[in-house]
Every structure is written in structure tokens, then in C-alpha cells.
Amino acid sequence: MFSVTVRDHIMVAHSFRGEVFGPAQRLHGATFVVDATFKRSELDADNIVVDIGLATTRLGAVLGELNYRNLDDVPEFAGINTSTEFLAKVIADRLADSVHRGELGEGARGLTGIQVTLHESHAAWAGYEREL
């Protein structure tokens, strides 16, 4: 399996519901380093996994929809705990939509999977992996 990973970051505010979250139930900020890994079993006609420039641009665009936002105020997230795991899935699904729309180039249609990892710190991270 071949892979290419691109990296960016986002800064958000949010709060959680439920005792398990302790003090994070209050509104707080989070900065995530975001890795998006694109996978395929065989390289494309240009001997690449994906156009790294397009992958970087699309990741930036997807993150731009969330960056500097209070996620508690985003209607599609109403009543949802926007945990790190949840956000990894949202980002992966939006990147997958970009692949299906051809926004990562025609060669990207041969991708077989995407994995998104959100690093909360140097000691903790969470991710989501999906097939295409």
C-alpha cells in the first residue's frame, strides 16, 4: 500500500455535554495539527499516489470551513459533541467528497482510502480511516 500524507492545522472553540468530559464541558479552545493520508495499492500513471499540491490545497479548504469557529454555533453540529474523533471523521468525509468531485485530479480517482489524524498535543491524538 502506497501513501502520501499532507499536514495543516486548525483552531476551534467548542464545549462538550456529559460528565465524562469534566472541565471540557465549558467552552474552550483547541488547536489541532491535522494529517491527511491518502492511500492506494498501485501508483497512478504518473507514479504518484495523489497530486500533493492539490491534496494540500483541498485539506486547507476543508479545514478553512472549521478554522477559527465556535463549533457550538455551527448548525450541522447542533447538539453533537465535536470530539477529536468526530472531527477526524468530518474532515475525512469532506476530503472523500473532494476526491469524488475530481478536485484532487483524475488520478486521485484510484485512491482506495483516506486516513485523518488530529493531534491534540505531542502526547495525544485521534483519527478516522475510511475507504473510498
Q: Structural domain tally of the chain?
A: 1
Q: Which residues are registered as beta bridge partners of 9?
A: 33
Write the pLDDT tens digit of every residue in 89-114.
999 999 999 999 999 999 999 999 99
Write the pLDDT tens digit of every residue in 8-25.
999 999 999 999 999 999
How far apart (Å, rounded) are the C-alpha atoms in residues 23 and 73? Answer: 19
**SS3 call for 125:** strand
Write the pLDDT tens digit of every residue in 25-52.
999 999 999 999 999 999 999 999 999 9
Answer for the pair 5, 52: CB distance below 8 angstroms, yes or no.
Answer: no
* CATH code, domain with 49: 3.30.479.10
Q: Indicate the DSSP class of residue 63.
A: H
Note down the domain range covering 117: 2-131
What φ, ψ does residue 19 adopt, rounded to 5°?
Answer: -60, -30
Q: What is the pLDDT of residue 54?
A: 98
